[in-house]
Structure 1
């Protein structure tokens, strides 16, 4: 069924949406160590390259909302490429690279003087923390995968109160140095779950309470290889995830309470056939996901609950074996949103809390793919990137129908490609391009269009990334 219609005009969440471009040439803000940084850690953190120091950490904070470079961490003219900003109490942690120490753990109190490396986990210029590695807050401390150069990539923690970095456990001791490669950290019911290998059982589901003794494999799901657990999702005391047992059931959804007995499979594709569950997302009292069932429908929208009950929600692509490939799941307000292919177009779909057993299409582009991406929640309102005749532009769902925020890049055949929608102090920030400049930082307010310069050393493409409101 179809719900709502597209509105390509500008509008507002309540009254009007104003767009403010935070842009570069001739800026009025301050840059780097000479800048005036007000006290306080709260702000919108991101990485940017203003053309002089390479990609470095920046912060935007109230009241001026003028971005400032925190520090030139890699002072060799190269980039420190900061990643994974997270906050614990009055400190923001992230990873960054220097020529001397490689990528390691850093922290800041929001000032240049208070921005410093926490530890050199891997001595010398080799990385202690890999590119793209997540930092996860658990019980007030910081957990991550790291390599000290001696024991391989293992589970580490930064003890905030004791200001100490330590390895939680050398999980893979089958070879020396052997890496357990912990990943997919997910807190569930006071326990931190993750995937890892001990070098013998393959990649399986693990858990930790932060102590060596409390870091244990939950189960050897695939006794002949790796279970490769993914999409770890917590709902009502149960951890759901995708995994394979190597044969009897294939790759299916599994559920575990994490403490007693072995995880139990929800066998969607009966027998040894794989259902290949993907994008497992909690909504209401169910988890929703894409999976291939037993009736040659291809990958469609399914749901399951903590008892193991499961059903296909909607056969969106009715072609035999077609599959709608539901993806880009996001919960916002009282709805689950996602993208799916009905066999004609890649469209915008939703499941509402009032109709949990039915998916409805929301029309953005009546003439082709809307291909919704970058779905994010902004105070209970969904914002996203979608494509219509104007190209890929920023949109939102007002509770009744999708509406375009604005056509930022009006040149024919072009698109602004908005990314990283982030809610900071009740303002919506994101990156996008327009007709005159390359990728910049934008904000949405009720104040109307008001361009604000940002110091970028007369460079229009400073390409902000890793936006984090902390």
Structure 2
């Protein structure tokens, strides 16, 4: 049965908010409380959240509903607020205010609201706490008539007892059926002028004069029905501007006005549309520079929200606004930008100030161009000691749309130090839905990944900062990534080509399809990328059948119209069957792989093949027929160690065939077998990993199950056939009762770290050396037995080493007290800790990747959803 706490985390269960409400938030079970209220007429609204307990944190957010609540709930269904996708939020809610003070400090939102329905979200950040939510809603009163009516029941006397005759040329739209003498207005209006239109009084006309040319804000608000607004010239016929929004939405716009006499008409849209209204006309003062040099300085930008207000519009005295700020000289900073209270489409650009202050910017690093009146919100990490320009400009006009005339805005800015913690490189899809960042790959010192900014899935590049994170192109599907000379090669479908081979130099202009190998929507399906110097080898689908397979390559230096070449075709390497090819592996200039030469009894079966000098040649030869004749040895786990190739294969050893470890030396002719005891059982070696000349592997030898083994001096070990055999030695029987199944091998300063199960669950282990009677041997120890920080830490995975020497750290994902975060360790208890990325729950991190000595990963928080995070430096344990 769903609890009340569960229901009020959904829009359909939002509780009606009166003057105050008491509630509570409980970690893990009740993270959000939603309330609803309505505003009838423009009002001053104050929302206060108080009474939070110590060591807790909760915020408040205020949203305006774009349509009636019942329609919103019917559209999105019964789901928690935190599960709303980006398009669901943008289509149904407009963020109009937020308060995020931090800690248990009181939260306050104070703003003016138009008529409409609103949602208040009380959202937990840390700890369990009760709270008090108070709402103060004060109607902004209309102007008081200069003379009070003598009879409160009777309507006020008309200002002119003599009504003029109907105009000879009716004003459109619609023709007035109830003409009246214009009511004089003083501009600017000192307070809202109230009135009403109905079937019996279809319009009201006001007269006013403009003494000085300027920009004026016209605002017809407090509507209870559909009424429109029109500005007329001195002849009361020439139409200067008409505003006819749908329904009870305010008629609000900016207009440049020359000196002269004017009329403003409020009129009923159609019969039966009765509406009250409040009319204000105010002159605007441009308080922000309209030039990049000099821009308006924002001094002291820090971890407290600063607010700036102004207006921007086409044809106005303020066509664009420029702000300038400088980040502190020490430490990276996280910038949050919110531009709200829009009634027309405005956008934001952010770029580093050029060295020549009058020069055009190199790139827009922080574009926010949401359509319509949606709030422009974004954030990301900025480097220390840099000067940036923030530009507010009229929104981009899409095909079929009319150009807007501008809007007033409220700009909220905050610059928070990241300190010694990871930070979001760029908040691509601002809000809790996140961008679903994925496919994180290192290329040329940059992170390439996929993400969805709310307008579709795209390819992105990042150096870990906002100004270094940008989208390179939109794709309906993106597959494998590979780096060739700092160029990214990847498979993608742009919706018109099918899955084909693409490449990118890190710029949008340089992100292009290599060639549409199978023209149209049929997919070439490149896969299994392997790089040999300038060449990228891969498997492709040369025919329309999904079962077709070929080996191809593309040379990064080939500028021809079709640089994708076939390794096997009707004239090249015809003796080989590409359907059998697998396990592409580069060793120096040689490409090794598995496959068969010939067919039937005259064929080799599945053996080890190679292309020598694969950076210039495509000639295939059999590297070694390990099991002589047609029987396949089925090589697997091809692993370069120095100039040699190690792998698993099956062949007769001392009698019957066994699956054991083999080495093919650098000369390509010497094959060495390493037969793990006892014979003649299969050891099935896998997870081959080399550190400083020692080959580590997992194998199942005898009754020990799958355990860790090591072969020292692997390239020169003489093997099991020598007079004095040299074969891998079991490091330790980690789980005497069954397999420990070691996995996720990494090298931290010459020590192998890995995950294994000793029978009590998977834990972190590492190798060490022990000397007995002058003999040094490799063994292994459970890290938690020597490092108390690992007590209670479970579900360890994604081991990744970042840094070198004393700066090297092991990073991994682990869970403690039901909180899954990124952990780090230098091998000591003092150097072990974790990043509390999500202070109210698990950040569920993944895809930990070392890119140019910087840690990148994907993680989620309640505020941001799944985004790209990065960290550089030495982590500080808490």
TM over 0.5: yes
1:165-191 Cα deviation digits (max 9, x unpaired): 111123345xx4332221222221332
Residue 95 (1) aligns with residue 450 (2):
yes
Alignment of 1:233-272 (within 5 A): 233-245=585-597, 247=599, 248-257=603-612, 258=614, 259-260=616-617, 262-265=619-622, 266-272=624-630
TM alignment of 1:269-288, pairs within 5 A: 269-288=627-646
- Whichever structure has more helix as a proportion of its residues is 2
Asked if 1:116 corresponds to 2:470, the answer is: yes
**Distance in 2 (alpha carbons) for counterparts of 1:107 and 1:343:** 49
Inter-partner Cα distance in structure 1 for 2:461 and 2:668: 43
- Report the alpha carbon displacement of residue 204 of structure 1 after superposing the two structures with TM: 2.8
Counterpart in the other structure of 1:177: 521
CA deviation vs aligned residue, 1:107-130 (integer Å, no higher than 9, x gap): 12422354221112x3xxx32x13
- Counterparts of 1:300 and 1:450, CA distance in 2: 38
Gaps of 5+ in 1: 1-24, 41-61
State the Cα RMSD in Å. Answer: 3.4
Query: What does residue 711 of structure 2 align with?
Result: 351
Please tell me whether the aligned partners of residues 32 and 68 of structure 1 are also in contact (alpha carbons under 8 angstroms). Answer: no
Q: Normalised by the size of structure 2, how large is the TM-score?
A: 0.43
Counterpart CA distance in 2 for 1:101 and 1:182 is 23
Separation in 1 of the partners of 2:834 and 2:745?
Answer: 26
How far is the alpha carbon of 1:93 from its aligned partner?
A: 2.1
Equivalent in the alignment of 2:565: 216
1:39/1:110 contact within 8 Å kept? no
Q: Is 1:394 aligned with 2:775?
A: no
Structure 1 CA distance, aligned partners of 2:709 and 2:435? 40
**Cα distance, 1:380–1:231 mapped onto 2, change above 3 Å:** farther
Distance 1:98 1:141 in 2: 24
* Mapped partners of 1:424, 1:392: distance in 2: 26
Alpha-carbon contact 2:502-2:511 (below 8 Å) kept: yes
In the comparison of the two structures, how many residue pairs are matched? 409
SS in 2 for 1:227: helix
Query: 2:492 and 2:835 mapped to 1: Cα distance?
Result: 39
Q: With CA pairs under 8 Å and 6+ residues apart, which has the higher RCO, 1 or 2?
A: 1
> Would you say the 8 A contact 2:837–2:843 is kept in 1?
no
- Cα offset for 1:370? 2.6
1:192 aligned to 2:533?
Answer: no
Structure 2: segments with no counterpart, 5+ residues: 1-124, 128-302, 304-331, 338-378, 385-416, 720-726, 770-777, 852-878
Q: What residue is the counterpart of 2:689 in the other structure?
A: 330
Q: Which moved more, 1:196-205 or 1:339-348?
A: 196-205
Structure (1 or 2) with the larger CA radius of gyration: 2
Of residues 213, 222, 231, the one that matches 2:583 is 231
Deviations 1:284-327 (A, max 9, x none): 3310011111454332111213544253522225454x422211
Closer, same or farther in 2 for the Cα pair 1:377/1:227, shift >3 Å? farther
TM-score by length of 1: 0.76
Superposed, 1:13-412 pairs within 5 Å as 26=126, 33=336, 37-39=381-383, 64-75=419-430, 77=433, 79-88=435-444, 91-102=446-457, 104-120=458-474, 122=475, 126-127=476-477, 129-130=478-479, 133-134=480-481, 136-160=482-506, 163-172=509-518, 176-199=520-543, 202-210=548-556, 211=558, 212=560, 213-220=562-569, 226-245=578-597, 247=599, 248-257=603-612, 258=614, 259-260=616-617, 262-265=619-622, 266-294=624-652, 296-316=656-676, 318=678, 320=680, 322-344=681-703, 345-353=705-713, 355-356=716-717, 357=719, 358-365=727-734, 367=736, 368-399=738-769, 400-406=778-784, 410=791
Shift of 1:443: 0.9
| CA–CA distance in structure 1, aligned partners of residues 460 and 597 of structure 2 | 39
Q: 1:228-253 deviations in whole A, cap 9, x for unaligned?
A: 53332222431111224473222221
